[in-house]
Amino acid sequence: MRTITHWIDGKPDTGSSGRTSPVWNPATGEQQAEVALANAQDVDRAVRSSRAAFQQWSQSSLSARTKILFAFRELVNANAEQIAELITDEHGKVLSDALGEVQRGLEVVEFACGIPTLLQGGYSDQVSTGVDVFSFREPLGVCAGITPFNFPAMVPMWMHPVAIACGNTFVLKPSERDPSASQLVAELWAQAGLPDGVFTVLNGDKEAVDGLLDHPDVAAVSFVGSTPIARYIHERASANGKRVQALGGAKNHAVVLPDASLDFAAEHLVAAAFGSAGERCMAISAAVAVGSAADDLVAAVSEKARAVKVGSGRDADSEMGPVITEAARDRILGLIGSGETQGAELAVDGRGLTVPGHENGFFVGPTVIDRVRTEMDVYREEIFGPVLSVVRTDTVEEAIALINANPYGNGTAIFTSSGDAARRFQRGVQVGMIGINVPIPVPMAYYSFGGWKDSLFGDKHIHGPEGVSFYTRAKVVTSRWPRAEMPSGASYHFPTAT
Ligand code: NAD
């Protein structure tokens, strides 16, 4: 059995715990590798190596860092297919989707290549007679990233290129379910010329995470994953005095008004609900059909859902792959059943799907549940599978109120041909990322990504300008170079400008 190791001090490292976790191929249902799980000693060794590397890396020039970032950009681009294949084999998503994920991660690397401009400070001349003030930002130290299974390359790339460009060192704790992409990324950083210890991969579960949250030499923690764990990470790391951004789960609504092109909306809803088997934090999991849009929308969505080609992510014809584990599949099937027993209507039932040649794979077919009410489990739970719930409302105001009553606030979308309705929507919803006739409004790398309410704990969104701000802290210098003939200006009252 292949063992996926840690990456510490610029080389593979098997760790000392002796504990491992299975890594499955979700399309075949077979175990294909095991991943080493770090213990507290491994965490300490990794953080010490990272701390030692910080001494030099934080002093490296902007041009030296930029050269390495550009080289890394070229290497990720050249190896995009290989990274995508590792993702497909461990996560299950179709290869074209995995390639798209690498591309979106690459865009953050490209953003980070502009670090000399992003770190430009401010300068005020002569704020008082003979006194100047200037400000600049410095790196924090060892930054940790704890990431989810659903984007094993992109989500870590929301973090490490920006953290490293800012002069920090970075310890990545990827999901134990699909860890291989991170190993390859570590090799690419090394090939790009990044000094040993600046980028570390520490595989593991709760033990590794807790070790990072409690380690005195970890300065900041970026987390992306489910809401209960995000809340826990935020509380524990904050209590330990660390800077924290913890992005959580989601329930993303797409509102469809009667004046929208229903065919256009249905096509986009199906892609946004079932792409990557619904395992995206920006997936649309609730369609809110307003007024007379509902019946035609459900009919159009159902027809398209039935036509989705489900199969192995390695099969070029597949549009949707399996879900991540057998347990995830069983949980999703159970939730679909609860929708039925709680009184919703199954317009398309994805249970019982088998894929010829992949009978043991973790597949769930696209599912559309109509007449869902907000008290039902399918609405309340983040299903994280290929299930689209349709909730019906009479007005757009009712739709906005429904979204605002939901504890999550990651992404949302509206389909309409009315600029006025779209504007009322964008101003009225308490959600961080909004699409207007765009179902999955993931911001470009030069904006920042983040939700509101239970979808994000902490102040800063991730990557983009807020990422640079998160991974640095400001210094402001007030400076005077006195000449002999100048009055000293010293006094016992509080200093004021003269
Ligand atoms: P998860 O919360 O189970 O795991 C995320 C990370 O936390 C993993 O590295 C895991 O090893 C670690 N972890 C799990 N349990 C832990 C515990 N008890 N203590 C400490 N660490 C623990 O999430 P997942 O299932 O890997 O990913 C899916 C979730 O991530 C969904 O809820 C999805 O919405 C969310 N997500 C959010 C965003 C966003 O930007 N808001 C992006 C992607 C995914």
What's the pLDDT tens digit per position in 275-313? 999 999 999 999 999 999 999 999 999 999 999 999 999
Strand-pair category, 367-370 with 345-348: antiparallel
Indicate which atom in ligand 1 lies nearest the CA of residue 233: 20
**Pocket test residue of 159, 177, 281, 329 for ligand 1, highest count of atoms within 8 A of CB:** 281
- Number of alpha carbons in the 13 Å side-chain half-sphere of residue 192: 28
- Residue pLDDT, tens place only, 397-456: 999 999 999 999 999 999 999 999 999 999 999 999 999 999 999 999 999 999 999 999
**Pocket test residue of 4, 104, 150 for ligand 1, highest count of atoms within 8 A of CB:** 150
Q: Where are the beta strands (DSSP E) in 230-313?
A: 243-247, 252-256, 284-290
Q: What is the longest distance spanned by two Cα atoms in the chain?
A: 91
How many Å lie between the centroid of ligand 1 and the Cα of residue 146?
8
Give dist(CA 123, CA 274) in Å, integer. Answer: 51
Position 487 scores a pLDDT of 81
User: Cβ atoms within 10 A of the Cβ of 491, count?
Assistant: 9
Q: Which of 113, 143, 166, 281 is catalytic?
A: 281
Assigned token pair, 445: 């790398």
Give dist(CA 52, CA 10) in Å, integer. Answer: 13
Indicate which atom in ligand 1 lies nearest the CA of residue 382: 32
- Number of alpha carbons in the 13 Å side-chain half-sphere of residue 469: 12
Measured in residues, the chain has a length of: 498
Query: How are the residues of the chain apportioned to helix, strand and coil, as percentages rounded to the nearest 5?
Result: 40, 25, 35
- DSSP-derived secondary structure for 90-157: HH---HHHHHHHHHHHHHHHHHHTTHHHHT--EEEEEEETTEEEEEEEEE-SEEEEE--SS-TTHHHH
Assigned token pair, 141: 């130290």
Strand-pair category, 243-247 with 456-457: antiparallel
Position 486 scores a pLDDT of 82
Indicate which atom in ligand 1 lies nearest the CA of residue 173: 9
Give dist(CA 81, CA 254) in Å, integer. Answer: 32
Give dist(CA 378, CA 383) in Å, integer. Answer: 7
Position 10 scores a pLDDT of 97
Q: Are 72 and 241 in contact (CB under 8 A)?
A: no
- DSSP-derived secondary structure for 191-236: HTTPPTTSEEE---SHHHHHHHHH-TTEEEEEEES-HHHHHHHHHH
Q: Are 273 and 340 in contact (CB under 8 A)?
A: no
How many Å lie between the centroid of ligand 1 and the Cα of residue 293?
35
Instruction: Please name which of 432, 426, 402, 404 lies closest in space to residue 414, comparing C-alpha atoms.
Output: 426
How many Å lie between the centroid of ligand 1 and the Cα of residue 443?
20
**Pocket test residue of 19, 205, 244 for ligand 1, highest count of atoms within 8 A of CB:** 205
Position 494 scores a pLDDT of 85
Q: What residues of the chain score a pLDDT lower than 50?
A: none
How many Å lie between the centroid of ligand 1 and the Cα of residue 247?
9
How many Å lie between the centroid of ligand 1 and the Cα of residue 38?
17
Cα torsion angle, 414, 275, 158, 105, sign: negative
Q: Whose CA is nearest to atom 42 of ligand 1?
A: 281
Q: Whose CA is nearest to atom 24 of ligand 1?
A: 148
Which residues make Cβ contacts (< 8 Å) with residue 206, sequence separation at least 6?
none
Position 125 scores a pLDDT of 98
Indicate which atom in ligand 1 lies nearest the CA of residue 462: 40
How many Å lie between the centroid of ligand 1 and the Cα of residue 148?
4
Q: Residues near ligand 1 with C-beta < 6 Å?
A: 146-151, 155, 173, 175-176, 205-206, 209, 224-226, 229, 247-250, 281, 382, 384, 410, 451, 455
Q: Which helix (H) or strand (E) holds 238?
A: helix 227-239
CA 229 centroid distance within chain: 14
Position 231 scores a pLDDT of 98
Kindly list the structural domains of the chain, giving each domain's residue range(s) and its CATH number in brackets, ordered by start. Answer: 3-248+455-477 (3.40.605.10), 252-436 (3.40.309.10)
Q: Are 63 and 393 in contact (CB under 8 A)?
A: no
Position 497 scores a pLDDT of 82
143 is catalytic: no
